[in-house]
Amino acid sequence: MAFYIWIYIALIVFWIIIQLSFNVQEKRTNRIIYFQNSLLFLYVIGVGLTIIMGIRSIDVGYDTQMYGRIFSILGQADLFENVSNSVSGYWCYRLICKIVYFFGGNYQIFLFITSAITVGGVIRFIKYTSENYFISVVLYYLSFLYLQAFNGARQCLAISVCLNAYVELERKRYFKSIILSVIACLIHNTAIIMFIIYAIKFINWNHKKLIIYVAGILIVCMYIDPIINLFTYIFPRYAIIYADYLNGNVATMFGGIARGRKALVSVFYIFIILITIYFTDRGKMEDGFANNWTLISLSVIEGIIGIIFRHNTMMLRMQLYFSVFMISCIPNCVERMWLNKRIKCICNIIICVVMIIPFCVQLKENYGRIIPYLVFMHN
């Protein structure tokens, strides 16, 4: 547990060092230097998180050994060979396995490559959509989105590709965005949710539409069973998870998260968003690269799913595709508040302090069996 806490402390210390180096620069170049220093922080942290994820032992995480067996099966099989149901499909994931295996790589090399893609995709998303890199990285780490990849590696890889599809969507590179979305679906079929995000993106958002939108989601949630039945029909692998949910057996790979603690984090997210919207200049919501109304609407979905379906493991899997947008939504909302910089700083400190509580709870109960942390030499 201490290892993961030290990572958080190192992250804060490094940011302080970056800021101190910024303060001693000439005033006439403050903006440029601040931006460069922030990028330096983002890239160094990205490399550090990639190394930690990529060199971990196969004993870190419930599913790491399973993915090792899948790598061996897919690496030895032909690309389009009909292997067992447990490893069939997801052609882009199979292609990565084949390429690494063909060039003589072992599972540890494959693990490092997929870790680099996963973390790198999130870092690129933060670079293009966040107005406060530090808070975005803190949220990515403390919300367990980063550590979730120690288990649900394939889904987190697909989520990372989806984030870059969203970046290309914001940059109006529509063809590239669609290609990335298709690739994500060929890594993990649940990434089809990205096409719902496309629909949300092209809505001209405002306060009234957001209220109608939230009311609509709540109504849909009242009739969720037919939707879940349709989902399990399209993706039959998740039918057994839904059956466990109906039978009250929800403590699967999400462990304690499925018992409701994730709902408290979702409540905190929504509370922060509502407070910041209240203190935000309406004209600033769509300024800058990322459309903040889109980020807010996607984050609201995350909050509603986390609260209403806190006992539904399958829906919590779907929630991950919306949770990642929080890491840019919350710092952007804080930055656009019309309050002074000191109040904004206090808000950011509160976020850093509050988020460490559920983080420590999850570490203490060792969700996902990520403790103790071991490197690959212990394999």
Taking alpha carbons only, the member of 337, 307, 311 closest to residue 323 is: 307
For residue 103 the two structure tokens come to 């060039």
pLDDT of res. 27: 46
Q: Among the residues of the chain, which ranges form H helices? A: 2-23, 30-54, 64-76, 91-102, 107-129, 133-142, 145-148, 153-170, 174-185, 194-201, 207-222, 224-234, 239-246, 261-278, 292-308, 313-323, 326-335, 341-364
Distance between CA 193 and CA 176 in Å, rounded?
A: 17
pLDDT, residue 378, reads 63
Q: What are phi and psi of 140, to 5 degrees?
A: -60, -40
pLDDT tens for residues 286-340? Answer: 555 556 778 888 888 777 777 777 666 677 778 889 989 999 988 888 888 877 8
For residue 295, give the nearest of 257, 255, 335 by alpha carbon.
Answer: 335
- pLDDT under 70: residue ranges of the chain: 19, 21-37, 79-89, 205-210, 213-214, 217-264, 281-291, 310-313, 378-379
339: left (phi over 0), alpha (psi -120 to 50) or beta: beta
Q: How far apart are CA 376 and CA 157, in angstroms?
A: 20
Q: Which two tokens stand for residue 60?
A: 């870190």
DSSP track, 13-28: HHHHHHHHHHHTS-GG
CA distance 312 to 289: 35
Distance CA(329)–CA(292), nearest Å, equals 7
| The predicted structure's pLDDT at residue 248 | 43
**Spatial contact of 295 and 329, defined as CB atoms under 8 Å apart:** yes
* pTM: predicted TM-score of the whole model, two decimal places: 0.84
Partners of residue 67 on adjacent β-strands = none
Paired strand residues for 280: 337
What per-residue confidence (pLDDT) applies to 24? 47
The amino acid that residue 354 corresponds to is V
Closest CA to 263 of 223, 208, 323, 204: 323
Q: How far is CA 54 from the centre of its chain?
A: 17
